[in-house]
């Protein structure tokens, strides 16, 4: 694809900005104890994940760097958010650990496949959708405590759990989808490497 080797693009700049905001989120939540501000920041960072993808498609700014940088930003943000909320105590422990378990498994699998010579696997829509849902669910847990007993709090709690269950289900479904894709990527990567050696 023409221009796919570009590094300086708007989507890549957005991904780098998202990564740079991770310490800010952790500081707001754990050092400043400002859960509402932290929740808003986390929700904005989650939403911008789809903004950079839209810009990349609409303005032909997709790049090979972006295909690595974008999911990396997703993973770092989600892991940091889960760990921070576990430490903070506002997210149910089992939710935080289930999120971390999936991210750890995916990260180990990606590194193992790369070491084994597999070609890179594109991110699947289910995984992106699951990540987005969790990016709205985790801020919800922060906001629930900031709202007194009211209908609004009840609706927020229902919505938060809806995004949580949906996000976890999509995330683990996507993990299952990667198994056959990983086998194919490993086979194709090894075949390509063998063809280069044979030249």
pLDDT tens track for 37-72? 999 999 999 888 788 778 878 888 888 887 888 888
What is the distance between the alpha carbons of residues 187 and 28, in angstroms, rounded to a whole number?
A: 45
Label residue 123 by pLDDT band (50, 70, 90): confident
CATH code for the structural domain at 10-198: 1.20.120.1760
Tokens of 97: 């650990």
Q: Are the C-beta atoms of residues 182 and 110 closer than 8 Å to each other?
A: no
Q: Indicate whether 83 pLDDT > 90.
A: yes
* pTM score, whole prediction: 0.85
Angle between helices 64-88 and 125-144 (to 10 degrees): 30
What is the distance between the alpha carbons of residues 15 and 32, in angstroms, rounded to a whole number?
A: 25
How does pLDDT run across 150-190, given as a tens digit for each residue? 788 899 999 999 999 999 999 999 988 888 888 887 887 77
Q: Indicate whether 82 pLDDT > 90.
A: yes
Q: Indicate whether 84 pLDDT > 70.
A: yes
Q: Are the C-beta atoms of residues 71 and 49 closer than 8 Å to each other?
A: no
* Of 50-54, 108-112, 195-199, minimum mean pLDDT range: 195-199
């Amino acid at each position: 694809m023409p221009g796919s080797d570009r590094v300086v693009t708007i989507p890549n700049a957005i991904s780098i900005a998202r990564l740079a905001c991770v310490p800010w989120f952790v500081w707001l939540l754990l050092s400043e104890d400002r859960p509402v501000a932290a929740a808003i920041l986390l929700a904005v960072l989650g939403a911008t994940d789809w903004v950079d993808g839209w810009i990349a498609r609409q303005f032909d700014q997709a790049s090979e760097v972006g295909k690595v940088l974008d999911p990396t930003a997703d993973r770092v943000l989600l892991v940091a958010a889960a760990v921070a909320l576990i430490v903070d105590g506002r997210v149910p422990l089992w939710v935080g650990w289930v999120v971390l378990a999936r991210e750890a498994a995916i990260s180990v699998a990606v590194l193992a496949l790369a070491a084994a010579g597999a070609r890179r696997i594109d991110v699947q829509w289910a995984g992106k959708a699951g990540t987005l849902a969790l990016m709205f669910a985790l801020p919800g847990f922060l906001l629930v405590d900031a709202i007194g007993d009211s209908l609004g709090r009840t609706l927020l709690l229902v919505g938060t759990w809806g995004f949580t269950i949906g996000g976890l289900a999509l995330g683990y479904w996507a993990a299952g989808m990667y198994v056959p894709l990983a086998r194919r990527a490993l086979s194709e990567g090894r075949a390509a490497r063998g063809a280069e050696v044979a030249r």
